[in-house]
Amino acid sequence: MTADVVIIGGGFAGLAAAASLARNGAKVLLVEKKKFLGGRVYSIRDRRTGDWIDNGQHALMGCYHQTFDLLKEWGTEDGVLLQPQIDIPYRGAGGQRDRLRGRSLPGPLHLLGGLLSMRSFSWRDKWAAMRFGMQMKRKNAVKPGETVQQLCDRLGQPALLQRRMWGAIALSALNEEVAQADASLLQTVLQQAFFSSAADSRMGLPIVSLQKLHDEAAVDYLTQRQGKVLLGRRADRLEWKGDQISAVILSSGERIPCGACISAAPAPALAKIMQASQLEDRVPVPDLGASPIVSVYLWYERSFSDEAFCCLEDCAFDWLFHRSNFMAPNEHKTHCVCLLASAARRLQHLSRDALIQTAIEEVEKTHPEHPRLKPASASVFWEPHATFSTTPDQVKKRPGAQTELNRFFLAGDWIDVGLPATIEGAVISGNKAAAMAAAMATKK
Ligand SMILES: Cc1cc2nc3c(=O)[nH]c(=O)nc-3n(C[C@H](O)[C@H](O)[C@H](O)COP(=O)(O)OP(=O)(O)OC[C@H]3O[C@@H](n4cnc5c(N)ncnc54)[C@H](O)[C@@H]3O)c2cc1C
């Protein structure tokens, strides 16, 4: 077996790189150590209910341009439903409700109207939020090494706004607490997702289980373009001569000669490969830490809301998704909700039962119009390494796609493409590494 380009890892970064190269005529071999594709975007069947649940509810945004292009190529773009306008309902632990609803105006005015009509914030808060928005448009608004909290304090953002607006965005988009999250990444998210166009601000939810967004469609796309996918095979080490990569060696002992290689494996996995290849000095892999996400799925006998989701305020969980209200028919048998907590270290001491109990109580407290809501079944999903830890110290250690080794490139959500660890960041990094590999793979 030979390939123009071997890609290590079948998450969105590896899949994007593979699709991009195959589209341009390269013979691609994608090696994935698990028996399924998707990396951190996958689904499993729940043992008790038989429903398909995701490893955590994922949300996309209108600004995920390269991700939507990829889904279009696979033919699975209908699996994500984008809102007509950004529309985020809020529910608090005391039963209070609010809503951020965009207007049909050019960005960022679409958000201004929505912000002005929110009840949770005083006029002073709203004025401060607008000022912050204007300041975030400036290139040098963030000081190097600043956290979101330091930035907010310096720019005089009231505590309520820090917690409910900027902190909530940092938690969801950066998967880190406001006191730790890198402010420059928040600025990028605000610029790309909130202050650009109304279309880019829309939230999109997968209406099919995550696995159906890629999986068979991604494999078909590659095999129709002379590509090959090896599942359940781990890349162990690289073979190299002088400055150049010559082959990838799998755990089965197979040797795959290649013109170029892209690693789309997470940092800890790549560090092992580099060590086994005696390349750790030439391709150093930083330890970027990890931030967990926990999801609790609850199944109720009957529906109790017509919302698709809501942002939770002053709760242990950050979001509540009514999956049965937006998933395609038959995806869930009863009313399935998913509560999700980002940067969930604060919940790590809780047992499975305690987590479920907390989730049940938060559903009750935020929906007081439906007292005594009791689920018939529950499931907990921990992802301890959901993303790298986006603190300023870690963010500055992120490497680029290019390595010192000829014809060896890096991709993954931890590679520096200027975005937080997201699907879009992974796809952009994959496309970038593919463009570099394409230029090299066919050169003798
Ligand atoms: C619970 C949860 C919720 C999230 N929510 C969102 C969200 O709402 N929106 C969003 O945009 N992002 C979200 N993310 C982040 C997003 O899922 C990731 O940023 C993205 O999927 C990372 O893709 P990747 O390809 O870089 O890495 P991965 O998906 O980790 O893929 C790497 C692949 O490499 C494979 N691999 C590792 N070592 C080897 C080896 N030696 N040989 C072969 N294969 C190997 C792994 O098995 C894996 O499949 C969430 C993540 C989690 C966990």
Centroid of ligand 1 to alpha carbon of 426 (angstroms): 8
The pLDDT value recorded for residue 391 is 98
Percent of the chain exceeding pLDDT 90 equals 90
Please choose, from the candidates 156, 173, 164, 186, the residue with its C-alpha nearest in 3D space to the C-alpha of residue 119. Answer: 164
Largest Cα separation within the chain, whole Å, is: 71
Q: Which atom of ligand 1 is nearest to the CA of 429?
A: 26
Question: Residue 280, exposed/middle/buried by CB under 10 A (0-12, 13-18, 19+)?
Answer: middle
Query: Looking up tokens 């209200």, which residue turns up?
Result: 325
| pLDDT single digits (tens) 164-196 | 999 999 999 999 999 999 999 999 999 999 988
Residue 58: enclosing H or E segment and its boundaries? none
Q: What is the pLDDT of residues 121-178, one digit of tens each?
A: 999 999 999 999 999 989 899 999 999 999 999 999 999 999 999 999 999 999 999 9
pLDDT at 78 over 60: yes
**Is the shortest distance between the CB of 265 and ligand 1 below 6 Å?**
yes
* Ligand 1 contact via 65 beta carbon (within 6 Å): no
Cα angle at 13 between 183 and 180, to 5 degrees? 20
Contact 12 CB / ligand 1 (< 6 Å): yes
Residue 416 makes CB contacts below 8 A (sequence gap 6+) with 398, 399, 400
User: Does ligand 1 lie within 6 Å of residue 315's CB atom?
Assistant: no
For ligand 1, the distance from its centroid to the CA atom of residue 161, given in whole angstroms, is 31
Q: How far apart are the first and last CA of the chain?
A: 19
Provide the 3-class DSSP secondary structure of residue 298: strand
Q: Ligand 1 centre and the CA of 430: distance in Å?
A: 12
Cα gap 444→440, rounded to integer Å: 8
Listed range (131-135, 204-208, 291-295, 439-443) with the worst mean pLDDT:
439-443
Ligand 1 geometric centre to CA of 54 (Å): 13
Atom of ligand 1 nearest to the CA of 40: 29
The closest of 110, 120, 61 to 90, measured between CA atoms, is 120
pLDDT per residue over 12-66, tens digit each? 999 999 999 999 999 999 999 999 999 999 999 999 999 999 999 999 999 999 9
Per-residue pLDDT tens over the stretch 346-391: 999 999 999 999 999 999 999 999 988 899 999 999 999 999 999 9
In the predicted model, is pLDDT for residue 444 greater than 70? no
Does the beta carbon of 430 sit less than 6 angstroms from any atom of ligand 1?
Answer: no
Confidence class for position 441, pLDDT limits 50, 70, 90: low
pLDDT at 443: 59
Beta carbon of 264 within 6 Å of any ligand 1 atom? yes
Token duo for residue 217? 């469609």
Q: What is the mean pLDDT of residues 330-351?
A: 93
User: Is the Cβ atom of 177 under 6 angstroms away from ligand 1?
Assistant: no
Distance CA 338, CA 299 (A): 9
Query: Which of 422, 429, 431 gets mutated to test ligand 1 (max ligand atoms within 8 A of its CB)?
Result: 422
Pocket test for ligand 1, best of 7, 31, 32, 40 (most atoms within 8 A of CB): 40
**Residue-level pLDDT at 356:** 98
Is any atom of ligand 1 closer than 6 Å to the C-beta of 415?
no
Q: Which ligand 1 atom sits closest to the C-alpha of 15? A: 25
Please indicate, yes or no, whether the overall pTM of this predicted structure exceeds 0.85: yes
Model pLDDT, residue 442: 57
Measured distance CA(331)–CA(165) in Å, rounded: 32
The percent of the chain in helix, strand and coil, each rounded to the nearest 5, is: 35, 25, 40
Instruction: Give the E-state strand segments of 177-289 in sequence order.
Output: 203-206, 228-231, 235-241, 244-250, 255-263
pLDDT band at 250 (very low <50, low <70, confident <90, very high): very high
Q: Give the pLDDT confidence score for residue 440 in this predicted structure.
A: 77
How many angstroms does the Cα of residue 39 sit away from the middle of ligand 1? 4
Residue nearest to atom 1 of ligand 1 (CA): 56
Ligand 1: which atom is nearest the Cα of residue 421?
19
Which residue's CA lies nearest to atom 7 of ligand 1? 58
Nearest CA to ligand 1 atom 29: 39
Q: Say yes or no: CB of residue 10 within 6 Å of ligand 1.
A: yes
Residue 329 pLDDT level (bands cut at 50, 70, 90): confident
**Coil/strand/helix, residue 8:** strand
pLDDT value of residue 40: 98
At residue 117, the pLDDT reads 92
Tell me: the pLDDT tens digits for 200-227? Answer: 999 999 999 999 999 999 999 999 999 9
